Every structure is written in C-alpha cells, then in structure tokens.
Amino acid sequence: LALLTHKLIEIENSDVFFTIVKMADRLYIVGRSRTNSVDVDEVLKELGGGGHFQAASAVVKDLSLDELEEKIVQILEEKVRVGIVAKDIMSSPVKTVNASTSIEETKKILLRYGHNGIPIVEEGDLRGIITMQEVNRAKQHGFGKELVSKYMSDQVVTVKLKTPLTEIQELMINYDIGRVLVVNQEDKLAGIITRTDLIRNLYGESYIPKRSFSTYVETNSKIERKKQIELIEKVVPERVKDILAKIGAIGDRMNFPAFIVGGVVRDLFLGIKNYDLDIVIEGEGITFAQELSRDLGGRIKSHEKFGTAVVILADGFKIDVATARREFYEYPAAFPKVELSSIRKDLYRRDFTINAMAIQLNQKYFGKLVDFFGGQRDLYKGIIRVLYNLSFVEDPARIIRAIRFEQRYNFKMDRTTEDFLKKAIADKLLSRLRRKRITEELILILKEENPLKSLKRLEELGALKYILPELELNEETIERLKKVKDNYNYWVCNLSDEKIEVWIIYFCSLIRSLKKRQIRRIFNKLIIKRKSIDKITSCYLNLDRIIKILSSNNKILPSTIYLKLKDLANEVLFLVMLENDTDITKERIYNYLNKYKREILYISGRELQELQIKPGPVYSKILNRLLCAQLDGEVKNKRDEIRLVKNIIKERKNI
C-alpha cells in the first residue's frame, strides 16, 4: 500500500495524498506529504498511527470508509498550517539601481553586493530588471557607457505580498527565472525572492547543495507526454516517424540523450507538417550521425569545428545532427564561437522562445517536451519573444526573422522584444550584416506565402532601408506584389508541371521600376547565385519586348511564339502574364508551355545520318526548321519530315 501511495502521488502530482483500503474488518490508511504545511505524522496520530513528517500510516477499526474519509478531512482542517506566502520569505529592502545608471556602474554594484540580478527603478517606480549575464554581454559589445535602461527587461515577473509559495514556485519554473520581485498594493517594490529562498522553504537547508533547478522543465506528466506522442502520430508522416524512432533507439544504444529541436517542434504544436529534421545530441553528434547513416543507408557530411553533420539518404532526404552546444559572439554581427554544452544551453542560443523547444526521442522518454523558456506558452498566446536582451545585437539577422515569423503566423512581438528590435534598428546594426546573411534572409521572406506583409512591417519599423535602400514600397509596387499570389494560383492550377522560383518573381516585381544603376547596386549588396541572377536579368531585359509580341491582336504563327520564348525562363513568362493578363497573352503562353515546347519530331539525328548528312551544327538547324514546320502544320508525319529535309538539302537554304 505504501508503494501504491507513492506511485499515486507521483501520477496525480499532489502535495498531500492519503490512500484508504478495507481488508477484512480493518481499514488501512497510508499518508504522504510533499509540503511543509501538512505533517501526515501529526494527522494519523489522531487515528492511533504514526510515522514522520512526510510519511505515516494507521490501522482503524469500527469505522466505514466514508466515515474515515470525513474524519481525515476534519483532522486536516484542524491541523493544516497556514500556507507560506511571499512576505514570509522575501528579502527586504531590495538593492536597486536607477534607470539612468550606466552598464559599467551597474556591473560594479552587482559585483560589490554579490548579486546575479538587480531591479531598475525610476522615481521610486519599478521599471525593469537586468542580470549579470546581460550586463556582461552589453559590456562585451562595447555598450558599457550606455544607460542600463536600454538593455533591461521590462517584462518583470512580480508577485504580491500574499502570493502563496506554490504559486511562486510555478512562476519560477514556467518563466525559467532565478528571482521574482514582490510588490505591495501600490505596486511599489517591497522585496525579492530568489531561487535559493524558494528551495530553502520548500525542502529545507540540506536540500540546497544537492540539486538545482537546471533540469528539464517538468511539465511532462504521462498525460502530457501522451499528448505529444499523439501529435507526432497525427502530424508526422510515417517515414519520418520511423526515422525518429530509429534516432531514439540509436541514442539508447550509444547512451546519448537525443532530441528533435527547433522549427519542427514549433510546427508540430501548430499542426503544420515540417520535414526539416534538426536533431541535437548530448554527446558526440558526428559519431552519432555516422551510426545513423550506417543504419539508414545514407552518407554523411560533417563539420568538426561546429560538431555538426548532415545525414543524406539515398533519395536526398536530409537529417541535420548537432552536438548540443552554446554560442557566444565577440562583437555585434560576428560569427559565433562554439563550445560543447547541454540541451538547455543549446536551446538558449536560439532566436525566439517558440523555436527553443525540444522533444526527447529516447525510448524511455519519447515525446517528453523540453521547454525551459516558455516556448509553448508563447506559441499558444501568439507571441514572438527573444530569449535574452542582447539577442538582436549579437545577431541582427534576427530582426528580419522576428518580422518574418510574426507575419507568417499572425503573431505579435511582445513589447520588450519589439523595443529591443527598434533599438537595434536605430543603432544601424543591420548595416553590419554580411551580404550572404542579408541575401539568405531576404530570399526566405520572398519565399513566404505572403511576403508583402513582412516587407510592409520591415518598412514600418524602419528596417527595409538598411537591407535594400533602393526599394520603395509605393502603391504601384504593392499592387504588383498583390497580383503575384493570384497569378501564382493560376499557374499552379493550369501549368503545374512548369516549375518556377516564386521568390524570383517577387524580387523582379520589387525591382521592376528601378533604374539599371540601382539594380547594379542591389546585386553588389547581395550574394545571389549566378543562375538566379541570369533569370532576374532576363526578366528585366525581356519583359517589355515579350509583352509587346504576345499581346498583339495580329495572328502569330506557333513557330514564331516558340522561337521567341524557347530561350526564356518560366519566370519571364509568369511576369508577362502578371503585367498583361489578357486572355490572348495567357492563351499563347499556355499553348507554348503545354504544346509547342513539348512537340516531338518523328525523325532524329539517326535519320539525318542515313540521308548522308555530315554530323555537325547543321543537325540542330535542320531539326529546328523541322520543328517549326511541324508546329505550323506544314508537316504531319515522318514521311513529310524526310521530304522536307531533302528539300532543305537540295535548296541549301536556311541551314
């Protein structure tokens, strides 16, 4: 019965639990307590039993089950102590700094008093809080003379004087913080409660050196894990589920905790399919990737410097594997330095809380959510939140990413995050970004379902001018961008076999009204692949000419359309339809893509050899002439084609 009670209190996650069992003419009762407010020994002594503060038992005769239950409730009402509240354990008065204090001076105060964090006040009112870690980051990036108020967090977790201890514990766990501030009825700072204060009052002095709160967030009861497993079953494709199970099994075999992390976890909770598998290993990531590659029959590309690898399966499917690591930046927009670390610190290096969640894959813990920073809470509230105050300083590309995620999911940045973002923009940190990063982030925005939303938000916040100052979101450009989506739907429905890169369409629509020198400046600022540059240039140079040809009401031979369009990228044809969406233009493009370019000749080079024609460039000229004749209905079968070839040779014209 004692073991059963122990299991039940774990399953129910209760502070106090009593189990009553009737056997023969006796009632057996076992009590367990995990809180200082209930002494089960004292409770069960009233029934002739005993034990100690946290565990006790008793045997009772002459009472029914219902009567005994009522008796226990009555004893509890008499014996339960009044719960501990904030004012009982807080430290007061609280050392604070003024909002006008510099970062350097704040650090001196923190060192002098041995604090790891300090509240910031202005004219007696609580303004925010800053930690030693954030102060050190600010100094490292050369902001020692700046006001502490610029880098503090104003999203301070506060409690009232009568807030119960259990509620304070829940806040510290859910927000992953080391302290809460206590305010009075007038919201004036009254005290502070640290993690040590909390542990001491929950578990006693002897507990403090044995354990810390740096374990996984325990929001993972069996019920919660079951929900995560059900989500995986519902959202994740069968093949990917098999791969995840294999990863967990290899992790068990190698004794490495294995996690799926980042965007795939975010999208899992949103019910969105995401095939980008990012795996983090607490152990040797590259060694793990080699084992995974052998088991799945793939090949591996590794990067020793970062402890990362990509497993590429036979069909091209990729699995990214990384060793749990932490990153630090020597100066704003620098490349990160990497150190091996834990899953917690690996998640802390990520951009936003919604991307800083992981799910464990090892068999025993499969489906367990690891969420130190409230990512799931922010996801359900629709909030984009950075993990630390200098996030945008260390990686200004996160400015663009914050806006992209905000607009993709119709979320909002929390106030503090938006304030930090605006300051980073005002400090011109985007201008420090490398060309490659700017290009990558811009292309990701243009690949979104509705990039116009992100572009407008970038302009609203003053960021667009630091990315591409030549661009202007005027009414003409906005209308052109809006039309892309409608025309893309037409293209997908009617020309699904003809692939296009939609980001190139949006990019060309953005630069459509610019002068050549402005476009050259844009190309100089970005690093775009040669193939994509060729497509963009072709769009810019050929658009007006092709529109004029295809929109003409005069009759145009199929061969003429074919010859005018055959060397152009599909993106050019899309933009022609975008700017001239008349029926005649659409019909001519449709016929070219679905008929003319798919036309197959009856003869080939083999037949030309049989006709004693010497191989060489002349072959392509003859075959091209034949194709034009076939498109225009001049030849209808193999015999016609051979006859035309003989005539061409005889006349020696147009070869």
Q: What are the φ and ψ backbone dihedral angles of 272, each rounded to 5 degrees?
A: -105, 135
Q: Count Cβ atoms within 10 A of the Cβ of residue 465 and give its class: 0-12 exposed, 13-18 middle, 19 or more buried.
A: middle
State how far the alpha carbon of 499 is from the alpha carbons of 318, 494, 546, 574, 588, in Å. 22, 12, 20, 11, 18
Q: Left, alpha or beta for 308 (phi > 0: left; psi -120 to 50: alpha)?
A: beta
**Where does 230-292 show beta strands of DSSP type E?**
258-261, 277-281
State how far the alpha carbon of 96 is from the alpha carbons of 115, 283, 528, in Å. 11, 41, 51
For residue 221, what pLDDT band results from cuts at 50, 70 and 90? low
**What pLDDT score was predicted for residue 326?**
54
**Superfamily in which the 222-381 domain is placed by CATH:** Beta Polymerase, domain 2 (3.30.460.10)
Domain at 87-210: CATH architecture: Roll (3.10)
pLDDT tens for each residue of 366-408: 999 988 888 999 999 999 999 888 889 888 999 999 999 999 9
CA distance 215 to 175: 14
Residue-by-residue DSSP string for 9-59: HHHHT-SEEEEEEEETTEEEEEEEE-STT--HHHHHHTTT-EE-SSEEEEE
Q: What is the mean pLDDT of residues 354-358?
A: 94
Q: Which of 1-10, 96-105, 585-594, 616-625 has the lowest mean pLDDT?
A: 1-10
Q: What is the mean pLDDT of residues 22-39?
A: 84
Q: What is the mean pLDDT of residues 187-203?
A: 79
Q: Is the pLDDT of residue 476 over 50?
A: yes
Q: Which of 132-141, 322-331, 379-388 has the lowest mean pLDDT?
A: 322-331
586 CB neighbour count, 10 Å cutoff: 17
SS3 at position 352: strand
pLDDT tens for each residue of 549-570: 999 989 999 999 999 999 999 9
**What pLDDT score was predicted for residue 95?**
85
Q: Is the pLDDT of residue 447 over 80?
A: yes
pLDDT tens for each residue of 142-193: 888 989 888 888 878 899 988 888 888 888 877 777 788 999 888 888 888 8
pLDDT tens for each residue of 601-626: 888 888 888 787 888 888 888 888 88
Q: What is the mean pLDDT of residues 103-120?
A: 85
For residue 329, what pLDDT band results from cuts at 50, 70 and 90? very low
For residue 643, what pLDDT band results from cuts at 50, 70 and 90? confident
Q: What are the φ and ψ backbone dihedral angles of 261, each rounded to 5 degrees?
A: -135, 165
Residue extents of the structural domains in the chain? 2-81, 87-210, 222-381, 468-598, 605-651
Domain 468-598: assigned CATH number: 1.10.3090.10
Q: Is the pLDDT of residue 327 over 80?
A: no
The residue with greater pLDDT, 606 or 358, is 358
* Bridge partner residues of 337 (DSSP): 328
State how far the alpha carbon of 321 is from the alpha carbons of 216, 247, 326, 533, in Å. 21, 10, 15, 32
**What pLDDT score was predicted for residue 203?**
58
Kindly state the percentage of the chain with pLDDT values over 90: 35
For the whole prediction, is pTM greater than 0.75?
no
pLDDT tens for each residue of 256-308: 999 999 899 999 999 888 888 999 998 888 999 999 999 998 899 988 877 88
Q: Identical fold at 222-381 and 468-598?
A: no
Q: Check: CB of residue 156 under 8 Å from CB of residue 145.
A: no
**What pLDDT score was predicted for residue 209?**
38
The residue with greater pLDDT, 210 or 496, is 496
Q: Check: CB of residue 189 under 8 Å from CB of residue 183.
A: yes
Nearest to 103 by CA among 155, 139, 141, 153: 139
Q: Is the pLDDT of residue 79 over 70?
A: yes
Mean pLDDT, the chain, as a whole number? Answer: 85
| Crossing angle of helices 570-579 and 530-550, rounded to 10° | 40
In this structure, whether the domain defined by 2-81 belongs to CATH 1.10.150.670 is answered with no
Q: Check: CB of residue 266 under 8 Å from CB of residue 379.
A: yes
pLDDT tens for each residue of 46-67: 888 888 888 889 998 888 888 8
